[in-house]
Amino acid sequence: MTVASRGGRALLVVAAVTGVIGVAHADEDKADPTAEAAAEEANLESNAPRAGMTFSVALGGGVTMGDGVGRGPALSFRVGRVATPSTVLTLELTGGSLFHQETAPMGEGPLRHNDFVGLLAGALHYVSGSFWIRGAGGLATYTVDSGDTTNHAHLGVGGVGGVGLDLMRWHYLVLGVETFSQLAIVGTRGLMLNTGLCLGLTYY
C-alpha cells in the first residue's frame, strides 16, 4: 500500500469521527426544552400553594359601619383545600368589633363592643406568585353589647371580598398582608359594612 493511499484512508477515518461527534452535538442541542425546564425547576422552591389543607390567621384593625361607625379589631380565620396550583377553596370566619362607650352619670361608662362576624365559604386565587384575591359568601351575625346580662344577636346573610400579598415564605409558613370588605344585611339593623387591614400567617 502506498503512502498516498494510507494518507487517504486516515483522512476518511478522521472525517467519519468528526461527523459522528457533530451528530451527537446536534442531538444534544435538540433536547426537549420542557424536560430541561422541569429539571431546572425541580431544584427551586415553588411560590405556588402546596397541595392539601391550608390554615390562615390574620389579625389587624378595622372599621364597622351601619349601626353607627366605630373602630376595633378585625380578624380572619380560614381553613382551605388546594384545588389547583393557584386556587384554594376556603371556609372562613371573618369579622370585626365596633367599640363604643356609653355616657354614665359619673362620666364615661365601661367600654363595650358590638361584634360583626360572618361564617363564609368561597375561594382564594393567586393572580401572580405572591398576589391573591378572594371572595366568599354565607351567614352573618351582629351581636350588640347593650350592657345588660343578655347580648342581642341579629342574623343575616352577606359576603366578603379581599386582596392580599405574600411578603415572606419560610418553608411551609407564609407571612403576608391583606385587606377585606365584608357586607351583610342583618335583621333589624339593615346593611352592615366591616373593613379590615390585617397581618396574616398561612400554613401551606
Q: What is the mean pLDDT of residues 166-180?
A: 95
What pLDDT, on a 0 to 100 scale, did the predictor assign at position 178?
A: 98
CATH 2.40.160.20 applies to domain 53-203:
yes
Pick from 184, 164, 154: nearest CA to 78: 164
Q: What is the mean pLDDT of residues 19-30?
A: 48
Q: What is the mean pLDDT of residues 146-162?
A: 85
Residue 134 near residue 120 (C-beta atoms within 8 A): no
Model confidence over 34-78: pLDDT tens digits? 455 444 444 444 455 667 999 999 999 999 998 888 899 999 999
pTM of the model: 0.72
Q: Is the pLDDT of residue 99 over 80?
A: yes
